[in-house]
Amino acid sequence: MIADGLLSSDHDAAHVDRCPDAWTPPDTGARVVTGTSASPGLVIAPVFQYRSELVAVEDIGGNPEVERALFDQVLERADAELQRMSDDAEACPLPVQAEIFDVHRALLCDPDMLLEVRGLIENGHAASWSWQQVIESRVARLRRARNRRLAARATDLLDIGQRVLRLFAGAVRHPFELPPGEWILVADDLTPSDTAHINPKNVVGLCTSSGGPTSHTAILARARGLPTVVAAKETVLALPQGTLAVLDGSAGRMYPEPGDELLASAREFRAARARKQARADAERFRPAVLTDGHRVEIAANIGEASEAATAIEAGAEGVGLLRTEFMFLCRETAPTEEEQFLVYCEVIAALGGLPLIIRTFDIGGDKVAPYLDLAPEVNPFLGVRGIRLSLRRPDVFRIQLRALYRAAATAKPGTVKIMFPMIATLEDLRSAKAAAEEVRAEVGAPACEFGIMVEVPSAVLMARELAREVAFLSIGTNDLTQYALAIDREHPELGREADSLHPAVLRLIDQTVRAAQSEGKWVGVCGGAASDPIGAMLLTGLGVSELSISIPSLATVKACLRGYSSTELKTLARRALGCSTATEVRALSK
């Protein structure tokens, strides 16, 4: 469990807030456009319809030698542009933007794609036309992909394609200008480059007719704190320019032409939420101690080393999930032992003795590393991913374990814990532990506590047996919800039904906690439900000891929990377990 503290608790001196409710619009019969939530928040502003201008070229043919040289020059310039954008992003509080443009650089240099382009050039076609043909073919193929996350990457490839075509055409990309004031930007879709060029003084929210919540555009929107709704269908594109609207990014809805009552309700909610958030931010270093003295450990989920210091500054009491995949993706070879060792040491140093749970690489599903030569799968989420891949690639797994143990040896004893993802059977857990212990003996490092991710129903059903073999269990509510309800949480039509507060999911969590506690082990949650104040309340009531959440939610969740007693939250959780639908569960907090 995350160790005791940052600051001591003083209930008499500090203000406590009950959880901020989600906005409930009055039933006025107002028109509503429904999409999928990609970034939370509520904004009120007029609509600005954005139309992206695509560069297109014709095949005028050319000398292959000349066209090859031209192509190489343009690629070099495109790579330099992306490097500059990545460097600029690293210098500001948007490291995720730098990571996305690093991904674009890797895509730009895809050897198979470049070979295909050069083949067309050798056949006498213009370099620009050859590039355009290959990009259009690949974008179309990605958009037809059954895997929604892979389909979302079509926007990245289109973005790269247009960047190169603009260089061929000598066109200069300027940030698009909007009229003075605040606007909700509406578009069919936005590329990462579009989103990166947005002026936050003008654009306060985004709404797209297509796209998905896992796209790089959606990730950038969340990093910028822009309320965003995606997959809202083509009706949003017909809204007249300047139409006043209320955009509820949290619920995935937009209300065009709201009446006075709806507007007043939205403005009142925004003002109340701003006041609560200001108080929460001011008290972010205080622990989450309930009114009866029970303490809930609040840690952060991070996906790169640079986020560790940010998490602590935001109020985290440690890192409950370090996703190590960021080191394995978007590169041509696996990271070396030394590369990984230095990254883990960087995180350990940033935490300054606070606890750190490192999850071994969770590749597979929608996270693809080409150098691993994974065979195509009809359903990759039921295939070789997580610990299954690690055990099948001991060459890669052992290098990570060596780096982990070497780094752990530099930390305060007991600080670093190792967590295995996608554990479905005892056999997989025992094999992973055996591999880790063998590596530890080689390295000569002290032992680290083991934990597992509980993400599939079989792990819930076997939780007691699994708990006997590890120090803790951490529930990944996103995947557990997906597997329990048999709904792809990113599905454009069904995604919003994949609610982690569904009674079926809550009952699985309850069963896991009771099984682990019977073996004297603690349970954490590092999935999305823990970042939702209502979810944090219910999880605490179910007996979860540690919540590892997204950095922006840290202060809000801590402030929320301080307003309740253990008895209140246990009662709330019992009532939730007796509900029949997720809607009923969420209604309990109103």
In angstroms, the CA 220 to CA 415 distance is 32
Q: Where are the beta strands (DSSP E) in 40-180?
A: 42-49
Contact predicate 539/510, CB 8 Å:
no
Tokens (6 digits) for 250: 């949290």
Q: DSSP for 323-334?
A: EGGGGTSSSSSP
Amino acid 5 reads G
Q: Which of 19, 207, 330, 526 is catalytic?
A: 526
Contacts of 470 (CB under 8 A, 6+ apart): 429, 449, 450, 451, 452, 521
Strands 244-248 and 295-302, by their bridges, are: unpaired
| Residue 163 φ/ψ, nearest 5 degrees | -60, -45
Strands 356-359 and 449-454, by their bridges, are: unpaired
Catalytic annotation present for 526: yes
Nearest to 96 by CA among 7, 219, 274: 219
In the chain, what are the domains? 33-50+176-277 (3.50.30.10), 64-169 (1.10.274.10), 283-587 (3.20.20.60)
In angstroms, the CA 215 to CA 195 distance is 12
Per-residue pLDDT of the chain (590 residues; tens, 9 = 90+): 544 334 333 333 334 455 656 788 998 888 999 988 888 889 999 999 988 777 888 888 778 999 999 999 999 888 888 877 776 655 444 555 656 767 777 778 888 889 999 999 999 999 999 999 999 998 888 777 655 566 667 878 888 888 899 888 886 665 567 888 999 999 888 877 777 777 777 899 999 988 777 666 777 787 777 899 988 988 999 999 999 999 999 888 999 999 999 999 999 999 988 888 899 999 999 999 999 999 999 999 998 898 999 999 999 999 999 999 888 876 778 899 999 999 999 999 999 999 999 999 988 766 666 677 777 766 777 888 889 999 999 999 999 999 999 999 999 999 999 999 999 999 999 999 999 999 999 999 999 999 999 999 999 999 999 999 999 999 999 899 989 999 876 665 666 677 889 999 999 999 999 999 999 999 999 978 898 889 999 999 999 999 999 888 899 999 999 999 999 999 999 999 999 998 899 888 76
In angstroms, the CA 170 to CA 400 distance is 45
Contacts of 177 (CB under 8 A, 6+ apart): none
Determine the pLDDT at residue 146: 55
Tell the residue number behind the tokens 């299954």, with chain if given: 388
Determine the pLDDT at residue 121: 92
Give the CA dihedral 368, 252, 218, 110, nearest 10 degrees.
40
Determine the pLDDT at residue 2: 43
Determine the pLDDT at residue 184: 96
Q: Which of 104, 216, 502, 560 is catalytic?
A: 216
Catalytic annotation present for 216: yes
Determine the pLDDT at residue 9: 37
